[in-house]
Amino acid sequence: MIVVLKPQTTAEQIKKFSDEITSQYKVTVNTWVGTQSTVLGLIGDTASIDTDIIQANPIVESLTRVQEPYKKANRKFHPDNTVIDMGKFKIGDGSVTMMIGPCSVESSEQMAEISQRIKKAGAAMLRGGAFKPRTSPYAFQGLRAEGLYLLTEAKRNFGLPIVTEIMSPAHLPLFEDVDIIQVGARNMQNFELLKELGHCDKPILLKRGLANTIEEFLMSAEYIMAGGNEKVILCERGIRTFEPMTRNTLDISAVPLLKKLSHLPVIVDPSHAAGIPWMVEPLSMASIACGADGLMIEVHNNPAKALSDGAQALTPDQFDGIAEKIKGLAGYLGRSVNTLE
C-alpha cells in the first residue's frame, strides 16, 4: 500500500504517523522522501488496514493499494531512480557503465593484458568469473579462490573495480574485496543465496534467469531488498526461446519495462544473449538507446584459447571499436560514459 503525504508534512509528523501504523498493524513502513512529496510504502498484512481512518489523517494526500507482489523494487514505492555510488562513478544516474572482461579468470598475465586494454578503451569495471556455473561437471569450473585472488590483483594493479559471480552463500567471506557481487542466471531463484545477499552491504548484480518472467525477476530482487540490501542492479542477459540461431534471445523490451516498473538500475549482457561476437555491437547500441545503465561484455585476449565461452568473446581490438561507438551514442543521447582514465 502506498500512502502519499502532503508536501508540507514535517519529519516529526512522518515519524509519529509511521509509529502509529507499525504499532497498530503487522506492517513495516518504507519511507521515500522526495523534493515534492513523501511516499510511505506499507509492506506486510495491509489487508487489515482500515483505509478510511488512514485517509482521514490530515497529513495524508492519497492512498493506493499496490497490486504487484514486488514492493521495495517497485517504482511506486521509490519514484526516483536508485543510484549506486561506486566511489569514482555512479550507476543509475543516467551515465553508462561498461563492465568488461573474460568469461573466466585464467591467469595473472591474462588479467593484466585484458585489464590494461579495457581500461584504456573506457571500461569502468573488470568482470571475470572465478566460480563458474557450467552445464557440464567435466568442463572448467573456474579457479575459485585463486581466481578471486587474481581479480583483486588486477584491481590493485589497474585500479579497476571488480564484479564476479557467487554461487554459494558459504563463499561470501572470500568476496570481501569484490565491488559488485554477481548472481548468475542459473541462481536467480536460489532463494537462500538471495536472502544471504540481502544481509550484505555490497551492490548485487542480479541476472535474469534462463526462462524467468519479468515479475519473477523483480521478485528475486525483492528477496535481496527485503533483507535490507537495496543496492540491486538488474541484468537482462537473454532468455530461452524457440530460436536456435542465437545462444539466447535478448529481450530488449525488458529494459524499458524494468525501468518503468522498478527504480533499480538495469544493464544488458549482449555476450551471453547472442553468443556471437559480431552481434555484440548492435545489441549494445540498442541497449543503450533504449535506456540501459550499462553493459556487461566478454572480452578475451585470445578467444581461441579461452577456457570458457571463447566463441562469444571479443578481442580487445574489437572492444575498442564498440567502446568508441557507445561513447558516440551516449554523447548523442546527452549521457556520459564512466571511465577511469
Which residues contact Mn ion by CB under 5 A?
Answer: 103, 309
From the list ligand PEP, Mn ion, none, which binds 133 (C-beta under 5 to 8 Å, kind-based)?
ligand PEP
CB of residue 272 to ligand PEP, shortest distance in Å: 4
SS (H, E, C) 265-283: CEEECHHHHHCCHHHHHHH
Give the Cα separation of 144 and 111 in Å (integer): 15
> Please, what is the minimum distance in Å from the beta carbon of residue 93 to Mn ion?
28
DSSP 3-state assignment of 117? helix
- 3 or 193: CB nearest ligand PEP: 193
Q: Of ligand PEP, Mn ion, none, which one sits near residue 207, judging by CB under 5 to 8 A according to partner kind? A: ligand PEP
Residue 224 · residue 261 · CB < 8 Å:
no
Of 122 and 184, which CB lies nearer to ligand PEP in the complex structure? 184
Among residues 167 and 226, whose Cβ is nearest to ligand PEP? 167
Minimum distance of ligand PEP from residue 1's CB (angstroms):
35
Q: For residues 193 and 216, give the distance between their C-alpha atoms in angstroms, rounded to a whole number.
A: 16
For ligand PEP, the binding residues (CB under 6 A) are 103, 129, 133, 184-186, 207, 237, 269, 272
Nearer to Mn ion, 182 or 262 (CB): 182
For residue 240, the 8-state DSSP code is: -
207 within 8 A of 235, measured Cβ to Cβ: yes
**Cα separation of 30 and 68, whole Å?**
16
CB of 249 to ligand PEP, least distance (A): 13
96 touches 294 (CB < 8 A): yes
3-state SS, residue 80: coil
> Least separation, in Å, of the C-beta of 312 and Mn ion?
7
